[in-house]
Amino acid sequence: MLELMLTQEWDKTFPQSDKVNHSKITFRNRYGITLAADMYVPKDATEPFAAIAVSGPFGAVKEQCSGLYAQALAERGFLTIAFDPSFTGESGGEPRRMASPDINTEDFQAAVDFLVTNPVVNPERVGVLGICGWGGLALNAAALDTRIKATVASTMYDMSRIAAKGYFDSSDNETARHAQREALNKQRTEDYKKGSYERAGGVVDPLPEDAPNFVKDYYAYYKTQRGYHSRSGNSNDGWNVTGTMSFLNQPLLAYTNEIRSAVLIIHGDKAHSCYMGRDAFAHMMDGNPVPENKELFIIPGASHTDLYDGGGKDAIPFDKIESFYKEYLI
């Protein structure tokens, strides 16, 4: 296994809890990529633990939202890991800042590998939690991995839908997709000639005065002391231009209506992305063999990024998430 250089000091965007023990761990996915994670273990709970793997948002790192969720759930009695996906953060994989619907789904499954083989974890009580784009990937993993007993998708994106159809499905036509394919493949040629990958840029900076509200919300999180992190693509120079190319042709959520395990989809009703959560839930319920353990939970007044860190108004429904996992994992 590739030995990663892991930062040992506390460098999160949230304060450290004295109710949990924190350590850095690594594990390897099916493609041989070594992933880095923070593990949070409750001090006042007993083994074997129910366990949850957390990742997201798309383009973020474990020192941001996923770590906040993981630590909060550890305070509530779960062993948790927050991991950096392949090619990002402290995890391995070259070239950097690439994304893949296959490999990133595998990242969740590799986290499950680590948890179900951990001697202090009950292998029958393992769940996943994905934030933003990783909410959609968590659902995709749950559709494939029967070891996952409970899944939470918080303020989810369907990255394949965004890639192929644009925001609000505004580019859902062959002409727009063809133009996008031409531009991406032209960039591939240029990258190959140069021997390096052009970056797409993270959250826009400086922020235009006429930016949509959701872009302003992203700026307020990723570009300020609230959520900035030096290893975060969204906080800095983003994905490679071709980094998310394969999402254009590979729909993620095709078989989520065959998920038999428990699922909770959480969204704020003021989130620009709420339509994706509602539509993902509707598709998941269409002919599902076990509909009774599925729920869509809408939070009045909450925006997309309010569910990143609470938005200063405790918007993340941790009591709801805790009760869901305790019902289906304990």
Going by their DSSP bridges, the two strands 20-28 and 34-42 should be labelled as antiparallel
The answer as to whether 105 is a domain residue is: yes
Is residue 315 within 8 A of residue 268, CB to CB? The reply is yes
Measured CA to CA, the distance from residue 225 to residue 14 in angstroms comes to 10
What is the average pLDDT across 231-260?
A: 97
The answer as to whether 183 is a domain residue is: no
Does residue 220 have a pLDDT over 80?
yes
Measured CA to CA, the distance from residue 80 to residue 322 in angstroms comes to 13
The answer as to whether 263 is a domain residue is: yes
User: Residue holding tokens 């993270």?
Assistant: 202
Measured CA to CA, the distance from residue 176 to residue 166 in angstroms comes to 9
Dihedral sign, CA of 111, 4, 82, 155? negative
The answer as to whether 243 is a domain residue is: no
- Mean pLDDT rounded to a whole number for the chain: 97
CA dihedral 302, 71, 143, 113 (to 10 degrees): 170
User: Residue holding tokens 């231009």?
Assistant: 241
Dihedral sign, CA of 211, 215, 220, 225? negative
Edge-to-edge strand order for the sheet containing 150-154?
20-28, 34-42, 79-83, 49-55, 121-131, 150-154, 262-268, 294-299
The answer as to whether 63 is a domain residue is: yes
The answer as to whether 204 is a domain residue is: no
pLDDT digits (tens, 9 = 90+) for 34-80: 999 999 999 998 999 999 999 999 999 999 999 999 999 999 999 99
Could you tell me which residues come within 8 angstroms of residue 66 by beta carbon, excluding any fewer than 6 positions away? Answer: 54, 55, 56, 57, 60, 82, 83, 131, 134
pLDDT digits (tens, 9 = 90+) for 84-118: 999 999 999 999 999 999 999 999 999 999 999 99
pLDDT digits (tens, 9 = 90+) for 163-206: 999 999 999 999 999 999 999 999 999 999 999 999 999 999 99
Amino acid, res. 75:
E
Please tell me the predicted confidence (pLDDT) of residue 330. 84
Please tell me the predicted confidence (pLDDT) of residue 211. 96
2: confidence class by pLDDT, cuts 50, 70, 90:
low
- CATH number, domain of 302, equals 3.40.50.1820
Does residue 1 have a pLDDT over 90?
no
Domain of residue 143 covers 20-158+252-329
Question: Is the entire prediction scored with pTM above 0.85?
Answer: yes
pLDDT digits (tens, 9 = 90+) for 280-312: 999 999 999 999 999 999 999 999 999 999 999
pLDDT digits (tens, 9 = 90+) for 151-163: 999 999 999 999 9
Could you tell me which residues come within 8 angstroms of residue 138 by beta carbon, excluding any fewer than 6 positions away? Answer: 55, 56, 108, 128, 129, 130, 151, 152, 153, 156
What is the average pLDDT across 128-135?
A: 98
Give the number of domains in the chain. Answer: 1
Residue from 6, 69, 14 nearest 225 by CA: 14
What is the average pLDDT across 219-231?
A: 98
Q: What is the DSSP letter of 258?
A: G
Measured CA to CA, the distance from residue 68 to residue 310 in angstroms comes to 10
The answer as to whether 285 is a domain residue is: yes
Maximal C-alpha separation, the chain: 58
The answer as to whether 30 is a domain residue is: yes
CA R_g for the chain:
19
Please tell me the predicted confidence (pLDDT) of residue 3. 79
Residue from 291, 310, 308 nearest 131 by CA: 308
